[in-house]
Amino acid sequence: MREPGPPMLPLVLEGIGFSAGGRDILSGIDLVLEAGPRTVILGPNGAGKSVLMRICHGLLAPTSGRVLWSHRERPGEPRRQAMVFQRPVLLRRSVLGNLTFALAVVGVPHYEREARAVAALGRVGLAAHARRPARVLSGGEQQRLALARAWMLEPEVLFLDEPTANLDPGAVREIEAIVQSIHASGTKVVMVTHNLGQARRLGDEVVFLDRGRIVERSAIDRFFRTPATAQADAFLKGELPWH
Amino acid sequence: MSTFGAVFGEAFRLIGALDLALLDIVWLSLRVSLSAVLISTVVALPFGAALAVTRFPGRDALVVTVNALLGLPAVVVGLAIYLLLSRAGPLGTFGILFTPAAMVVAQAVLIFPLIAALARQAVADAWREYAEQMRSLGAGPVASSLALLHDLRFSLVTIVLAAFGRAIAEVGAVMIVGGNIDGVTRVMTTAIALETSKGDLPLALGLGIVLLGIVLLLNVGAHLLKERAQRHHA
Quick check: A89 and B139 CB within 8 A? no
- Percent of chain A exceeding pLDDT 70 equals 96
Q: What is the pLDDT of residues A181-220, one digit of tens each?
A: 999 999 999 999 988 999 999 999 999 999 999 999 999 9
Assembly ipTM:
0.91
What is the band of A73 on the pLDDT scale with cuts at 50, 70, 90? confident
B234/A104 Cβ within 8 A: no
Question: Ramachandran region of residue A186, left (φ > 0), alpha (ψ -120 to 50) or beta?
Answer: left
Q: For residue A243, name the pLDDT band (cuts at 50, 70, 90).
A: very low
Percent residues over pLDDT 90 in chain A: 80
Predicted confidence band of residue A76 (pLDDT cuts 50, 70, 90): low
Note whether B139 and B127 are within 8 A (CB). Answer: no
Contacts of A106 in chain B (CB under 8 A): 137-138
Mean pLDDT of B181-199: 92
Burial B2-35 (b: 16+ CB within 10 A, else e): eeeeebeebbeebbeeebeebeebbebbeebbeb
B137-166 average pLDDT score: 92
Residue type, A156: E
Q: How many CB atoms lie within 10 A of CB B93?
A: 9
pLDDT (tens digit, 9 = 90+) per residue, A88-146?
A: 999 999 999 999 999 999 989 999 999 999 999 999 999 999 999 999 999 999 999 99
Total number of domains in chain B: 1
Backbone angles phi, psi at B60, to 5 degrees: -60, -40
Question: Per residue in B200-218, pLDDT tens?
Answer: 888 888 889 988 998 898 8
Range of the domain at B77: 2-233
By percentage, how much of chain B surpasses pLDDT 70?
99
pLDDT of residue B16: 81
Specify the pLDDT at position A240.
60
Rounded CA gap, A78 and A40, in Å?
A: 26
B1 pLDDT more than 60: no
Q: Would you tell me how many other CB atoms lie within 10 Å of the CB of residue B95?
A: 12
Average pLDDT over residues B46-74: 93
Start-to-end C-alpha separation, chain B: 54
Contact B147 A104 (CB under 8 A): no
pLDDT at B2 (0 to 100): 60
Q: What is the dihedral of CA B194, B198, B202, B205, to 10 degrees?
A: 30
Does B135 touch chain A if contact means CB atoms closer than 8 Å?
Answer: yes
Q: Tell me, what's the pLDDT at A4?
A: 56
pTM score of the predicted model: 0.87
CATH assignment of the domain containing B15: 1.10.3720.10
Of B138, B232, B234, the CB nearest to A105: B138
Confidence of residue A9 (pLDDT cuts 50, 70, 90): confident
The residue ranking higher by pLDDT, B218 or A158, is: A158
Nearest CB partner across the interface for B138, out of A79, A88, A92: A79
Nearest to A105 among B139, B151, B233 (CB): B139
pLDDT range class, residue B227, cuts 50, 70, 90: confident
Assess whether the previous peptide bond of A44 is cis (omega < 30° from 0): no
Per-residue pLDDT, B80: 95
Average predicted confidence (pLDDT) for chain A: 91
Q: What is the structure's pLDDT at A33?
A: 94
The pLDDT tens digits of the residues spanning B98-126 come to 999 999 999 999 999 999 999 999 999 99
pLDDT for A1? 46
Residues of chain B with Cβ-Cβ distance to A101 below 8 Å are: 147
Average pLDDT of chain B, as a whole number: 91
